[in-house]
Structure 1
Amino acid sequence: MLQAIRDHAQGWIAWVIVGLIILTFALFGIDQYARGDKVVVVAEVNGEDITANQFLTLYNRQQQRLQQQFGDLYDQVVKDEELRDQVLDALIESEEIRQWAKNNGMVISDQQLAAAIHEADVFKEGGKFSQKIYEEVLLRNGLNVARFEHEQRQFLSENQYRNISQSSAFATNAEVQQLALLQGQERNVNYLRVDQRPFLKTVTITDEAVAQAYQKDIAQYVEPEKVSVDYIELSQAKLAEKVPVTDAIIEGYYAENKAQFTLPEKRQAKHILISLESDSAEAKAAAEKTIAEIQAKLAAGEAFEELAKTYSQDPGSASTGGDLGTFEQGMMVPEFDEAVFSMKEGEVSQPVKTEFGYHLIKLVKIVPKQAQPLEKVKAEVTKQYQSQEAERQYFELLEKLNTIVYEQSDSLEPAATATGLEVHTSELFSRQGGSGEVLSNHKVINAAFSDDVLKSRLNSASIDLGNHHSVVVRVNKYQDARQKALEEVSASIKEELTRKAAIAESAKLGEALLAKVLAGESPESLMKDGIEWNTVGWIARNAQNLLPQMVSEAFKTPKPVDGKASWTKFALTTGDTILLQVSDIKTQPLTAEQQAPLKNAFAELFANSELEARLADLKAHSEVVKKEVYKTVK
């Protein structure tokens, strides 16, 4: 079979199919032969090249996957430089593993490879591997099977390396027991909170301190470069609002598209479901026996609805006599749907097998399709007509817009005049973007700061914002980065210094209060404005009545010794100081059932740590050279 595979197909996209065979790691571990006369190298690993072809293959695949995942948000969520770094790091790691496997004689046999391919559901027919389907799938995807086999072998080799590293990890009973004791531990806690806000009114920040802070962090007070752009916005939705309509137009459109405004046929059905506990012959025989018993009672004249209440194992409909209500064709699973829409009113079906079990179906009523009168759907007809006309206008105007902004690239006015659209001027905005849908779009920001638009002062090409919404831009005004004067930022600096000083005073007071409680003073006696004592009681590690930070600190606090409470001091993210008391500790023993997932979690933790350590060692002993070209290669 492997030789036949070698003889018939081609392509890297086979990783899509590999993903169905193994797991999501199919995105990595790729080794692509360079094609063409000129080989561009993006990295070297111990003298072995990683080519631009390899890089771009994985980069494009990852990019497509992320575009499908994030849709129109892709440009805002995914940073290209970070994606390129991740792709190159994955290829480097893959190459390091490949070299280790080669040096240590680890190979994937033909039998292992064949077994992996045979197990792929995408190549099966009737539950068995089909050479014909295999070849058809690869051919349909333009795949080179010899290359597919090569890459699959390498993937299996890398997966084997990871399994070797992870499969040796295990957790001992003593470790699990220790973790169980820690997991089941509870602590009796209370705390004293020192509010930092009262100090905001008492601390004093001098002008000299503000000036010193400004000079110390002067680089933080630089206003970034900004641009203002002229832009023409083209939107199908806005065009639709201006499409003129008359009663004659709407009547004509309705007549031509009447089928779109016709309610489809619906059917009301009832059913009796007998579930299958398994696919075993015994389970099927038992279900069929019950179905036969129900059919006999139906034949004897018993009511379908009463039998449904007695026998049906559908919890959603049994109590209502099996009633499923009315539904359109295509709403049910195929086998059920086909049966219902081939029956006559009042008819009871033969047993219909679906993924849920066996059904007896009674067709109660047929609601024929019905054309809705224009008066009832006029608003919908109007909206659809305007949208259709606007879509046609949109693409006509977009083509004209692209042509003119390219041919007359020094101004947007000719394009605006020719298309009847307006030129808008934006506010100044930085590379972080501005306000509104247009100026916050990552594509628009990139275009505005591109060399062609910013430096050469050319019109941009049309920028697709999604949903038939485009924009073209050109720079109207450019403002270079500038150092903000002290006067512009003194207020914000003073506010920040005041806050820091208040937090410091809170911490200072907290230190003094801690000394007092450790000396034996009652925490309650220390309460006054801005200082409050809170009694909490017993908490577990998953406690919801305290902030997560406080729960974490509570379980870091040393155990009480000789009945004397332990204390810890820390600052909340709000700036308040907390003096937390742990007065007692107890452990709720975990059952064997509760401990089982702990053992699995411990083993998984050790396995991942082992793998990370091995990969880190590979990296430490590899000589890796990254070429700058990977940042820009396309």
Structure 2
Amino acid sequence: MLQAIRDHAQGWIAWVIVGLIILTFALFGIDQYARGDKVVVVAEVNGEDINANQFLTLYNRQQQRLQQQFGDLYDQVVKDEDLRDQVLDALIESEQIRQWAADNGMVISDQQLATAIHSADVFQQDGKFSQKIYEDVLLRNGLNVARFEYEQRQFLSESQYRNLTQGSSFATASEVEQLALLQGQERNVNYLRVDQRPFLKTVSISDEEISESYQKDLAEYVEPEKVSIDYIELSQAKLADKIAVTDEIIEAYYAENKGQFTLPEKRQAKHILITLESDTSEGIAAAEKTVAEVQAKLAAGESFEDLAKTYSKDPGSAETGGDLGTFEQGMMVPEFDEAVFTMQEGQVSEPVKTEFGYHLIKLVKIVAKKAQPLADVKEEVTKQYQMQEAERQYFDLLEQLNTIVYEQSDSLEPAAEATGLEVKTTEMFSREGGSGELLTNSKVLNTAFSDDVLKSKLNSASIEISANNSVVIRVNNYQKSRQKGLEEVSASIKEELTRQAAIAESEKLGSELLAKINAGEAPESLMKDGVEWNTVGWIARNAQNLLPQMVAEAFKTPKPVEGKSSWTQFQLATGDTILLQVTDVKSEALTAEQKAPLKGAFAELFANAELESRLVDLKANSDIVKKEVYKTVK
């Protein structure tokens, strides 16, 4: 065919081919060039798209924030699918609010946006907004001005929406009073406990019951797929233990790094702290007057230590004459630190203002920095030298390890021989993991069950399980998931059925005892093996002498009527049955000081409930489509 095309290149066939190429570009190519890459949509809200760029921007920010927060625990704490769900839900909610704001004419003015940005501390220098710092901060964080200001405008719009809702909520005086009465309520309680454990010896479970339970819950008795892995571990710490040292090496290392084994300068100081009663002009004036009074007495020759005992408001040092002991530079608040480390021995400072108040500081002693003798720090020097040498070895061996396990991907033995490391084998474990640091590491678990390692039977690349501690792995053995036989699980089924039957017997006996109590029998007369009567007395809502569940049940029980006790029956998480008696109820009046936070708490509760209701309503009246691509897009 190609030869035929060449033969007729100057004829009508050539023109047909050229025409088809032009038509293809006209229909597809030019449009593609005009639009660029196709936009990936992860969700639609009332016909408006949320694209992958928006999703990944927020997803990456959240991921980085959580990685900083949890460090090495990130993979164990954060599930990627949950994070993706949360990010998409946040973007959908944001888009709903944006649409509501647009429909209702709610806008953020340029002045509001400028005020918010100019007031942010991160963009200020010497208390004023700096355009240069503003641009530098955005550049360091990979943002351009236009994008940042768009996002800020959206953030302010969402905040304004929330504030409109929450700002209209309030708590009335009668609501606060009612809450105060409930908060101050106390109840007089006693209880009868029916232990379920004695019934464990009396109940009987048949083979038929065990079989029926097994057949009903077959899915509960499936053993998941499992693997065991071969692995090579490379650890800087273990390499360090094998680094040979001599006295000459340690002496040379100590001489080269003497500064690391030098004790820093320390200073001993005393101070007199005069606090501000209030951060007002009157409070400041009063504090300055006291400072001046102390300075005058010092000038007159009175003892600094005696004045500290009289005037200082620092409870930790006043009784010892203001003595703060010795400390290194950087251990105190900056203003205090700067003053101490610019003073001479015996000198008393001018007043130094910090967040705690005004300080008069006396420098007692300067302890000069001092190099520690090698004999005193030899163990530390040795360890530091070994770790330094081991770090070099670690990265050389890690590179070598990765190269060999990739080039000879069907075995770990060549890599072990080349690096002098050992191939070890684990126990069988499921996707949920096994015992020990290695088999609880999510990176190792995910890699062990990945397609490359499990299905293709390849070596893995190195996996960092902690700082300068890595492994490479390959699957040694694989066991498919399987249905466990009845004989394997009958013992555990019988144990669980016995426990359930014992709990049921405890509940049944509890009901019988409650019927006797209601018929007039005294609860204390019903005690026997496994049944005990407990007199408690008055409890408040924060009572610590009862289980939280029991306290909650006590305050849910109806109030006694006409002097007749109220009773309630419930089960503890342990399976024991409780018959709880409320004999009386009283309310202790709260003081005005105790009521004050209740008003704010009540108003906040109403505000959050109303906001949540509005957001639910927005969602109910929105046409939301989530695309499956958000679960995998990168």
Instruction: Provide the rounded CA distance (Å) in 2 between the counterparts of 1:560 and 1:355.
Output: 54
Partner of residue 606, structure 2: 606
2:205 is matched with 205
2:299, 2:558 → 1: CA distance? Answer: 77
The 5 Å alignment of 1:184-195 reads: 184-195=184-195
2:259 aligned with 1:255, yes or no?
A: no
Letter in structure 1 aligned against 2:93: E
Distance 1:337 1:603, change over 3 A: closer
Correspondence 1:106-505 to 2 at 5 A: 106-277=106-277, 280-505=280-505
How far apart, in 2, do the equivalents of 1:265 and 1:542 lie?
51
Give the SS at the match of 2:169.
coil
The answer on 1:50 being equivalent to 2:50 is: yes
Shift of 1:582: 1.4
Report the CA distance between 1:313 and its aligned residue: 3.1
What is the CA deviation profile of residues 108-127 of structure 1, one whole-angstrom value per residue up to 9, with x for unaligned ones?
A: 11222122122212223333
Q: Distance in 1 between matches of 2:139 and 2:355?
A: 32
Runs of 5+ in structure 1 lacking a partner? 1-34
Change (3 A) 1:313 1:44: same
| Alpha-carbon offset, residue 278 of structure 1 | 5.1
Q: How much does 1:36 deviate? A: 5.7
The 1:455/1:139 distance shift into structure 2, 3 A limit, reads closer
**Structure 1 pair 390–347 and aligned structure 2 pair: CA distance change class (3 A):** same
Matched residues in 2 for 1:168 and 1:598: separation?
17
Residues 372/502 of structure 1: CA separation in 2 closer, same or farther (3 Å cut): same
CA, structure 1 residues 47+376, in 2 after alignment: closer, same or farther (shift >3 Å)? Answer: same
Which segment is superposed worse, 553-562 or 150-159? 553-562
State the TM-score, normalized to the length of structure 1.
0.91
Q: Which moved more, 1:129-138 or 1:589-598?
A: 129-138
Alpha-carbon distance change, 391 to 619 in structure 1, aligned in 2, over 3 angstroms: same
**1:162-208 deviation per Cα after TM superposition (whole angstroms, max 9, x unaligned):** 11121222222222222222222222211111111111111111111
Corresponding residue number in structure 2 for 1:4? none
- Of the structure 1 ranges 422-431 and 340-349, higher mean CA displacement relative to structure 2 is found in 340-349
Deviations 1:522-574 (A, max 9, x none): 11221111111111112122111111111111111122222221211111111
Q: CA offsets per residue over residues 230-285 of structure 1, 9 Å max, x none?
A: 00111111111111111121111111111111112222222233334455555545
**1:592-618 C-alpha deviation (Å, 9 max, x unpaired):** 322222222221111111111111111
Report the more deviating stretch, 483-492 or 343-352.
Answer: 343-352
Query: 1: CA distance between counterparts of 2:396 and 2:83?
Result: 36
The change in CA–CA distance for 1:389 and 1:167 in structure 2 (over 3 A counts) is same
The one-character-per-residue Cα deviations of 1:21-43 (angstroms, maximum 9, x if unpaired) are xxxxxxxxxxxxxx962211111
1:77 equivalent in structure 2: 77
Secondary structure in structure 1 of the residue aligned to 2:458: coil
Counterpart-to-counterpart distance in 2, 1:53 and 1:432:
33
171-180 or 202-211: bigger deviation: 171-180
- C-alpha change, 1:129 and 1:426, in structure 2 (3 Å) is same
User: Which structure 2 residue ranges, 5 or more long, are not aligned?
Assistant: 1-34
How far is the alpha carbon of 1:578 from its aligned partner? 1.1
Q: Match of 1:546, SS?
A: coil
Match of 2:568 in 1: 568
Q: Which amino acid aligns with 1:434?
A: G
- The residue that corresponds to 1:594 in the other structure is 594
Work out the CA distance in 2 between the residues paired with 1:186 and 1:243.
69
Quick one: distance in 2 between partners of 1:306 and 1:173? 52
- Residues 1:466 and 1:98: Cα distance change in structure 2 (over 3 Å): same
Residue in structure 2 matched with residue 19 of structure 1 by the alignment: none
Deviation at 1:626, TM superposition (A): 0.9
Determine which structure has more spread, i.e. the larger CA radius of gyration: 2
One-letter amino acid of the counterpart of residue 457, structure 2: R
Higher mean displacement: 532-541 or 229-238: 532-541
Separation in structure 2 between the aligned mates of residue 572 and residue 542 of structure 1, nearest angstrom: 19
Q: Which residue does 1:7 correspond to in 2?
A: none
Residue 483 of structure 1: CA displacement? 0.5
Cα deviation per residue 1:379-420 (whole Å; 9 max; x = unaligned)? 111111111111111111111111111111111111111111
Alignment-mate amino acid for residue 382 of structure 1: T
SS state at 2:503 partner: helix
TM-score normalized with structure 2 length: 0.91
Residues 1:443 and 1:423: Cα distance change in structure 2 (over 3 Å): same
Residues 337 and 187 from structure 1, CA distance in 2 versus in 1: closer, same or farther, beyond 3 angstroms?
Answer: closer
Report the CA distance shift for 1:599/1:305 in structure 2 as closer, same or farther (over 3 A).
Answer: closer
Letter of the aligned partner of 1:215 in structure 2? Q
2:287, 2:602 → 1: CA distance? Answer: 43
Identity %: 82
CA distance in 2, matches of 1:179, 1:359: 45
Displacement of 1:334:
2.7
| Counterparts of 2:282 and 2:243, CA distance in 1 | 66
Cα–Cα, structure 1 residues 462 and 598, in superposed 2: closer, same or farther, change >3 Å? Answer: same
* Matched length: 600
Specify the SS of the correspondent of 2:556.
coil
Equivalent AA in structure 2 for residue 394 of structure 1: Y
Query: Measured at CA, do residues 505 and 282 of structure 1 come closer, stay the same or move farther in structure 2, by a change above 3 Å?
Result: closer
Identify if the C-alpha distance between structure 1 residues 280 and 425 changes in structure 2 by more than 3 Å, giving closer, same or farther: same
How far apart are the structure 1 equivalents of 2:563 and 2:176? 28
**What is the letter of the counterpart of residue 214 of structure 2?**
Y
| Distance of aligned partners of 1:68 and 1:36 in 2 relative to their CA distance in 1, 3 Å threshold | farther
**Correspondence for 1:26:** none
Q: Deviations over 1:122-163 (max 9, x none)?
A: 223333333343334334444311222211111111111111
Distance 1:67 1:124 in 2: 28
Amino acid at match of 1:336: F
Between the aligned partners of 2:292 and 2:113, the Cα distance in structure 1 is: 48
Distance 2:397 2:486 in 1: 50
SS for the counterpart of 2:466 is coil
Identify the range of structure 1 (569-578 vs 283-292) with the bigger mean alpha-carbon deviation.
283-292
> Distance in 1 between the 2:301 and 2:621 partners?
82
| Rounded Cα–Cα distance in structure 2 between residues aligned with 1:126 and 1:281 | 23
